[in-house]
C-alpha cells in the first residue's frame, strides 16, 4: 500500500526521518497533522537521483514536540537537521512545511541550494484569516481533532479511487496525531501569513512555488506573488489539484521538484 508506515531513524534536532535513494540531499517537510508518509508517492520518483529525507515535523509522527512553541523553534530544529547532512541540501515543504523551508533557506543560503514551497499560503484574505484563526482557537491540547472538516476541505465531500485511499490515510494520521503537537502547529500556522518580502528577497537560489488550481486557501495568486519577489522564483499551477498535491498529484509535483533541484545541482557541478 502506498501510505503504509515506513521505517524511521532519529536525526539531528530530535527529528525522526525516513530516507531512501542516493545522490545530493533533498529534505521534505509535511504539513500540520500529517507525517513523513505523506511523501510516500513523491519520494520514489526523486530517489533515483537524490537521497531523500522525509522528516516528521515536531509533535508529529515519531518526532517529539520538545517544547516547540513558535515557528522559529521548528526552523531551528530543521536547521540543526540539515547542517548535520553532508554537502548542499535542497528543501521542499508542503503547507506549514512551506513556511518552514522558506525561512530555513533564507537563514542558511550557504547550505540550501534550492527550495520549494508547495501549497503555501501568502497574505490570506480577511475571510480566510478569520476562518483559520477560528479553527485554531477551537482546538484543544488534550484530544485529537475531528478529522471530518479537515478532510472535506482537502479532498471534497465524496473522494473516490486513489483519492479516497489518500483521504483514508490522512484520517488515520489526523486521528493518531499528538493533540498537543497538532494544536501547537496549527495555531502557529494560523498566526502566520506567509514569508515576509525581506525573506523572499533573500532566497538567492532557485525557489519554486507550486500549488493546485483548485486550492482555495493556498491559491495560484499566492504562489505567483511569492515567486515574483524571489530573485530566482518560479510559480507553477497544477490543473485539477487542490491542497493535498503530494498525495493526489505526486507525479506533477515530483517532476517540478526534480527539474528545480536538478538545474541547481548541475549548475554547481559545472
* Residues taking part in catalysis: 95, 119, 243
Measure the CA–CA gap between 142 and 147, rounded to whole angstroms: 15
The DSSP secondary-structure symbol of 91 reads E
- Cell numbers 488515520 correspond to 172
Report d(CA 223, CA 210) in Å as an integer.
6
Residues 110, 46: contact at Cβ < 8 Å?
no
Closest alpha carbon to 43 in 35, 55, 52: 52
CA 251/CA 42 separation, integer angstroms: 7
Q: 90 by DSSP, 3-state: which?
A: strand
Amino acid at each position: 500500500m502506498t501510505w503504509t508506515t515506513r521505517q524511521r531513524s532519529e536525526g539531528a534536532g530530535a527529528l525522526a526521518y525516513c530516507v531512501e535513494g542516493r545522490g545530493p540531499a533533498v529534505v521534505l517537510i509535511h504539513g500540520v497533522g500529517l507525517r513523513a508518509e505523506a511523501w510516500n508517492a513523491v519520494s520514489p520518483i526523486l530517489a533515483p537521483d537524490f537521497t531523500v529525507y522525509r522528516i516528521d515535523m515536531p509533535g508529529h509522527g515519531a518526532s517529539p514536540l520538545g517544547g516547540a512553541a513558535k515557528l522559529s523553534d521548528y526552523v531551528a530544529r530543521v536547521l540543526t537537521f540539515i547542517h548535520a547532512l553532508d554537502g548542499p541540501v535542497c528543501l521542499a515543504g508542503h503547507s506549514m512545511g512551506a513556511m518552514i523551508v522558506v525561512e530555513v533557506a533564507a537563514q542558511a543560503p550557504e547550505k540550501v541550494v534550492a527550495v520549494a514551497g508547495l501549497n503555501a499560503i501568502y497574505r490570506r484574505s480577511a475571510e480566510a484569516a478569520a476562518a483559520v484563526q477560528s479553527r485554531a482557537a477551537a482546538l484543544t491540547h488534550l484530544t485529537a481533532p475531528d478529522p471530518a472538516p479537515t478532510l472535506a476541505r482537502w479532498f471534497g465531500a465524496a473522494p473516490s479511487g486513489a483519492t479516497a485511499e489518500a483521504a483514508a490515510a490522512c484520517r488515520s494520521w489526523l486521528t493518531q496525531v499528538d493533540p498537543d503537537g497538532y494544536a501547537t502547529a496549527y495555531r502557529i500556522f494560523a498566526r502566520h501569513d506567509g514569508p515576509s518580502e525581506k525573506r523572499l528577497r533573500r532566497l538567492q537560489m532557485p525557489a519554486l512555488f507550486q500549488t493546485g488550481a483548485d486550492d482555495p486557501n493556498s491559491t495560484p495568486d499566492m504562489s505567483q506573488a511569492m515567486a515574483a519577489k524571489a530573485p530566482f522564483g518560479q510559480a507553477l499551477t497544477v490543473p485539477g489539484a487542490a491542497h493535498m498535491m503530494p498525495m493526489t498529484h505526486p507525479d506533477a509535483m515530483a517532476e517540478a521538484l526534480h527539474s528545480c533541484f536538478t538545474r541547481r545541482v548541475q549548475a554547481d557541478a559545472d
